[in-house]
Amino acid sequence: MEQREDIGLGRACTTERCDSPSRRTFLLGSAAFISSSLLLGGCGGGDSTRTVVAPRFLDGDERRFVRAAIDRLIPADALGAGAVQAGVDDFIDAQLAGPFGQAAGIYMRGPFHLGAKEQGYQLPFTPAQVYRLGIQRVDEHCRKTLGNVFAQLKADQQDKVLHELEDGKIDLGEIPSPNFFNLLLQNTKEGFLADPIYGGNRDFAGWKLIGYPGPRYNYTDDIEKFGQPYDAPFVSLGGEHPVTCRLSDSPTGRFRGPGCEYAQMPAKMHYDALTTTTGKVWPAGNL
């Protein structure tokens, strides 16, 4: 997606809540079970000819930066998947394209003054703009001082740059570097630990790491079993067994299954065979 001139926003649906998680759950979490009318009803009022446009924000270079950075913030190791394997870059991309990235609910009237730290965020930029400007400036800095963009650096070089950003030691122009770093770190942790319906925490990577079983409804019989393990299957708002395989490319766009990447959702969609985490296989079909 080429949107470098438009520093503001990715493409988004026309209604404010079109990317709300409950709808996305329908689109992706149970896609194979849902009729096409329901699938199309979520955004744009059920016009059956309308193409549902999935929001996207990061371009190729930005995506490479984010993948490289989150791979250092939460690396894969012997304990399990890291942020990249958990799909956190997909999560961040979708968040930046949506209401969060656009600062949709935020008071953005001027005049703008930096103020004291106790007065909170005072920059005239949306989170999406902070990413776009921040990534550009960090890559410039890396190219100038280390000879390559951030994504191409070695891991220890990347760690050093991240620490310097965290400590405010790199000049990013109008954005204090800790603002950029803290936003990136916050979103990375969110993507790792939020419900998988948002595209991160893929295969419950984050929840498996810590032992959080997901949103469960009733612990009445368990809460007084002090010190005992609780070992029920992981659940998501998308269901107990979210589909983890990827849908193949289709003539109208690129799709991934309920791990959540979808560039464009056509009115009709073909999908290849799906395998669920429990090994259940759905044959190929159409929605």
Partner 1 sequence: MARKLPEVDVVLVGFGWTASIIAQELTEAGANVLALERGEWRDTVPDFSVTHIQDELRYAVRKEIFEQTRRQTMTFRNKPDQLALPMRELGSFLPASGVGGAGVHWNGQNWRFLPTDFMLRTHNEQRYGRKAIPDDMTIQDWGVNYEQLEPYYDKFEYLCGISGKAGNIGGRIQAGGNPFEGPRRREYPLPPLKRCAATELFDKAAREVGFHPFPAPAANTSKPYLNTLGVQMGQCTYCGYCEWFGCANYSKASPQSTILPVLLKKDNFSFRTHSSVTRILTDSTGKRATGVVYVDQNDREYIQPAQMVVLCAFAHHNVHLLLVSKIGTPYDPQTGTGVVGRNYAYQVSSSVNVTCKERLNPFMGAGALGQVVDDFNGDNFDHTGKGFLGGGYIALWNTGGRPILQEYLPKGTPKWGAGWKKALHEDYLYSTHMQGHGGVMSYRDNYLDLDPTYTDNYGNPLLRLTFDFHHNENAMSKFLTDRATEIAKAIPNRGINSKPRKGDYSIVPYQTTHNTGGAAMGNDPRTSFVNPFLQSWDVPNLWVMGSSVFPQNPGYNPTGTVGALAFWAADAMKRYIRNPQPLVQT
Q: Smaller CB distance to partner 1: residue 89 or 190?
A: 190
The whole-angstrom separation of Cα 138 and Cα 161 is: 9
| Tokens, residue 3 | 């949107």
Q: Which stretch binds partner 1 (CB under 8 A): 76-84, 128-136, 141-149, 251-259?
A: 76-84
The whole-angstrom separation of Cα 154 and Cα 164 is: 15
Half-sphere exposure of 3 (CA within 13 A, CB side): 18
Q: What is the helix (H) or strand (E) element at residue 178, kind and residue range?
A: helix 177-193
**Rg of the Cα atoms in the chain:** 20
Backbone angles phi, psi at 184, to 5 degrees: -60, -45
Contact (CB, 8 A) for 236 and 197: yes
Does residue 218 bind partner 1 (CB under 8 A)? yes
- Write out the binding residues for partner 1, residues 225-264 only, by CB under 8 A: 226-230, 237
Min dist. Cβ of residue 287 to partner 1 (A) = 21
Does residue 281 bind partner 1 (CB under 8 A)? no
Min dist. Cβ of residue 163 to partner 1 (A) = 10
Which residue among 2, 60, 111, 286 contacts partner 1 (CB under 8 A)?
Answer: 111
Min dist. Cβ of residue 103 to partner 1 (A) = 8
The whole-angstrom separation of Cα 139 and Cα 68 is: 12
Does residue 60 bind partner 1 (CB under 8 A)? no
Q: For residue 52, which of 60, 64, 43 has the smallest C-alpha distance?
A: 43
Which residue among 57, 150, 198, 204 contacts partner 1 (CB under 8 A)?
Answer: 198
Contact (CB, 8 A) for 101 and 95: yes
Does residue 224 bind partner 1 (CB under 8 A)? yes
Which residue among 145, 219, 254, 280 contacts partner 1 (CB under 8 A)?
Answer: 219
Does residue 160 bind partner 1 (CB under 8 A)? no
- The residue whose two tokens read 């989170």 is 127
Min dist. Cβ of residue 16 to partner 1 (A) = 11
Min dist. Cβ of residue 276 to partner 1 (A) = 19
Does residue 159 bind partner 1 (CB under 8 A)? yes
| CB burial of residue 75 (10 Å; 0-12, 13-18, 19+) | middle
Site string for partner 1, 113-152 (x = CB under 8 A): x-xxxxxxxx------------------------------
Contact (CB, 8 A) for 189 and 202: no
- The residue whose two tokens read 């985490």 is 277
Residues in contact with partner 1 by the rule CB under 8 A: 20-22, 25, 72-75, 77, 79, 82, 99-100, 104-109, 111, 113, 115-122, 159, 162, 166, 185, 188-190, 193-195, 197-198, 206-207, 209-213, 215-220, 222-224, 226-230, 237
